[in-house]
Amino acid sequence: MTREINLEGYGTINISPISFKDREYESVDSEGKPLKWISGTATRGHFINESGIEVSQALKKVEVEGEIFLLNKFSPTKEVKSDEIEIIDDNSAVYRATERVIYKVFVENDRLKKLLNEERKTLKFGFCAGSGFKMQEGYLTAWKNDVVLFGVRGDFEEVLTKFKDDVVEIDIIPERTPEQKKKLLKILVRG
């Protein structure tokens, strides 16, 4: 399942998913009520609402920083304009991502190969993959002798800073002796 993306000023790349486990969002109607998917056999699959009525348009319910959004389907990225592409030296966001999808990339453009493999630069751009609900920040970079595209979301550092002032109390319970374990087991079995 190879897809083509034109990176303006850098040529065309072909991407193929390596790791595509991605977060699934709940399908809802325009009022935010859950929908159920009915697989098609001789007919096309479709969504139905709680009343069993077919719904023509499903939205995805997405929570961002505690706020709920109902999103329509986006078009998968086919082209990225040059002013939407950033050349960066540090691709550490790939390692800090809370969600990551990996694509194998086939590159024919020599300038792009040199930029990624020899100069060790990374191209950063937003893109949408899959069925139109997988919005990610893309990091096109060299990985050993290959070129890969990491689709990332979230940042561990930002998540951890939310909890840095939280105090957690830990009670250390001493290991029970075999005799104590047997006694406890007897009590639990008897009720």
57: pLDDT strictly greater than 80: yes
**Domains identified in the chain, total number:** 1
What's the alpha-carbon Rg for the chain, to the nearest Å? 24
Determine what percent of the chain is predicted with pLDDT higher than 90.
22
- How many angstroms separate the CA atoms of 84 and 101, rounded? 20
Residue 91 inside a domain? The answer is yes
In this prediction, residue 89 carries a pLDDT of 93
pLDDT in tens, 109-167: 999 999 999 999 999 999 887 766 677 889 999 988 889 999 888 777 777 777 667 66
**Both structure tokens of 121:** 């630069």
Residue 187 inside a domain? The answer is no
Q: Is 132 exposed, middle or buried (0-12, 13-18, 19+ CB in 10 A)?
A: middle
Look up the CATH number of the domain holding residue 20: 2.40.290
Residue 113 inside a domain? The answer is yes
Residue 183 inside a domain? The answer is no
Residue 184 inside a domain? The answer is no
* Confidence band, pLDDT 50/70/90 cuts, at residue 87: very high
CB 106 within 8 A of CB 72: no
